[in-house]
Amino acid sequence: MKDLELLINILKQRGFVYQSQEIYGGLRGVYDWGHLGVIMKNKIKSFWLKDVVFKRENIFLIESSILGLKRTYEASGHLQYFNDPLVECKNCHQRFRADHLIKGDYGEVEFKEGKALCPICKGELTEERSFNLMFKTYIGPVEELASVAYLRPETAQGMFYNFKNILNSYRPKLPFGIAQIGKAFRNEITPKNFLFRIREFEQMELEFFVKPEEAEKWFNYWVEERYNWYLKLGFKKENLRKYIYPKEELAHYSAGTIDIEYNYPFGFKELEGIANRTDYDLKRHSEFSNEELKYFDEKNKEKIYPYVIEPSVGVERLMFAIFCEFYDEDEIEGEVRRVFRFPSFLAPIEVAVFPLLSNRKKLVEKAKEIYFELKNEGFIVFYDDSGSIGRRYRRQDEIGTPFCLTIDFQTLEDETITIRDRDTTKQERLKIPEIKDFLREKLNF
């Protein structure tokens, strides 16, 4: 998928995702999700929970607060390290990330006397300064230093400052994990590339606590587990790759990081990161809170700070990758067909039900009967009797619905219906009682 504008238009038109507050000019770097997008996001989160949490032992879920104390982010290093280099044009006052500017991410850069010029108006740029990416706010009615708080820039810290609570509540043995899905906020200097770099997003994160001597083994384990999960979702191998961070690029807490990158329309970029965070976080929160966040190793009769392996993926980036991966075009009867070839289990609408003709009462009644029966069985079903059958098929193809059921005159005679496959467009007849088992088999993840 290389035509990003076309993709964005389809996603908006069909109700997957919208620019937030568009009627007021839009809020840059923030998006709202429509009906189909919400369904897909919830499916993705459910698949992640199933794979990362529910099929394993000793993984515990939490939901920590979005608001964080200043002290929390002093401990985590975010106040010190969570900064991007900012430059501003003195003429048009556009702001840019200095490192992205030099790489040409904003367009071709011209230089004057060795200094980069604004890529928009060729004006002079300010000196580079450090810009902290956290959103600051205040708790209580008075804006004063003592009430400073921040919107969390990641979900991870909630899992670290709840470490002791998890130990006391569940008494887990190493290795064990704490997992969380939730909102995070980053005041990006220049949000761009649609859903890739935005200011409000969801993360799916796991903090997996291990013995220090086993950290490398578990790091490699989670890299392979997470890479294979994308293959299971249906991603092509050629659109995925692993990027090993060199030492000079590692975050302050990391002893090693590998990104799983996806081939977006603008090239390979990070989809998910897996990091060996060492014992940095637990030590820092112990120091700043004066609470001991150690684990008692019964075998060696000693208290230790476990190491942490962290797989972390942004839901919106993953959704973006899914839209790119499964969008396709082909030709049917001389017409270009736009189709999302989502795996059946991932499609927002699982099956559509049509009466062949909308003005034949018996066909409509039978179609509605099947529609409600499937809904009551838990399938996500769409009913449509507007326009020709061909146009109805095209609308469902464009939102990725894998199967369409058509109730025709033969249905009234022998209780069979036509089922159409989205990818092949082939049709076959099935008996109505067989439909549920057919769909359950096809929609299984």
Instruction: Read off the CATH number of the domain in which 17 is found.
Output: 3.30.930.10
Give the pLDDT mean for 332-353.
95
Residue 117's pLDDT is what? 95
User: What separation, in Å, do the N-terminal and C-terminal C-alpha atoms of the chain show?
Assistant: 24
Do residues 105 and 198 both lie within one domain?
A: no
Do residues 107 and 167 both lie within one domain?
A: no
pLDDT category at 353 given cuts 50, 70, 90 is very high
pLDDT at 224 over 70: yes
Residue 180 has what DSSP assignment?
Answer: E
Residue 192's pLDDT is what? 87
341/183 Cα distance (integer angstroms) = 28
Do residues 254 and 350 both lie within one domain?
A: no
Query: Which residues are CB-contacts of 253 (< 8 A; sequence separation ≥ 6)?
Result: 77, 275, 277, 278, 280, 281
309 is a domain residue: yes
330 is a domain residue: no
Last residue of a domain, one of 132, 153, 171: 132
- 268-309 pLDDT per residue, tens: 999 999 999 999 999 999 999 999 999 999 888 999 999 999
Please, are residues 87 and 126 in contact by the beta-carbon 8 Å criterion? yes
Per the DSSP assignment, residues forming a β-bridge with 428 are 419
Do residues 230 and 103 both lie within one domain?
A: no
- 15-25 pLDDT per residue, tens: 999 999 999 99
**What is the length of the chain?**
445
Do residues 122 and 140 both lie within one domain?
A: no
Residue located via tokens 């409000």: 200
Please, are residues 411 and 369 in contact by the beta-carbon 8 Å criterion? no
Residue 1's pLDDT is what? 56
Residue 444's pLDDT is what? 84
Residue 445's pLDDT is what? 66
- Write out the residue range of the structural domain in which residue 239 sits: 4-77+136-323
144 is a domain residue: yes
332 is a domain residue: no
- 236-258 pLDDT per residue, tens: 999 999 999 999 999 999 999 99
Do residues 240 and 179 both lie within one domain?
A: yes
pLDDT at 397 over 90: yes
Do residues 285 and 353 both lie within one domain?
A: no
- 48-73 pLDDT per residue, tens: 999 999 999 999 999 999 999 999 99
Is 26 strand, coil or helix? coil
Residue 88's pLDDT is what? 95
pLDDT category at 144 given cuts 50, 70, 90 is confident
385 is a domain residue: yes
pLDDT at 143 over 80: no
Residue 380's pLDDT is what? 97
Do residues 162 and 91 both lie within one domain?
A: no
Alpha-carbon distances, residue 430 vs 42, 406, 412, 413, 435 (angstroms): 30, 11, 13, 13, 7
Give the pLDDT mean for 200-212.
98
Nearest to 126 by CA among 164, 175, 92: 92
Residue 319's pLDDT is what? 98
pLDDT category at 82 given cuts 50, 70, 90 is confident
What dihedral do alpha carbons 62, 67, 71, 73 form, nearest 10°? 80
Alpha-carbon distances, residue 258 vs 223, 225, 227, 264 (angstroms): 7, 13, 11, 18
155 is a domain residue: yes
Do residues 149 and 201 both lie within one domain?
A: yes
Residue 3's pLDDT is what? 86
Give burial (CB, 10 Å; 0-12/13-18/19+) of 220. Answer: middle
Do residues 284 and 389 both lie within one domain?
A: no
Residue 2's pLDDT is what? 63
- Beta-strand relationship, 176-185 and 59-61: parallel
CATH number, residue 378:
3.40.50.800
Tell me the percentage of the chain whose pLDDT exceeds 90: 90
- The interaxial angle of helices 315-326 and 4-13, nearest 10 deg, is 100
Residue 326's pLDDT is what? 97
Residue 436's pLDDT is what? 94
Do residues 142 and 88 both lie within one domain?
A: no
Do residues 108 and 234 both lie within one domain?
A: no
How many separate domains does the chain show? 3
Q: In which order are the strands placed within the sheet that holds 240-244?
A: 59-61, 176-185, 200-210, 307-314, 267-278, 256-264, 240-244
295 is a domain residue: yes
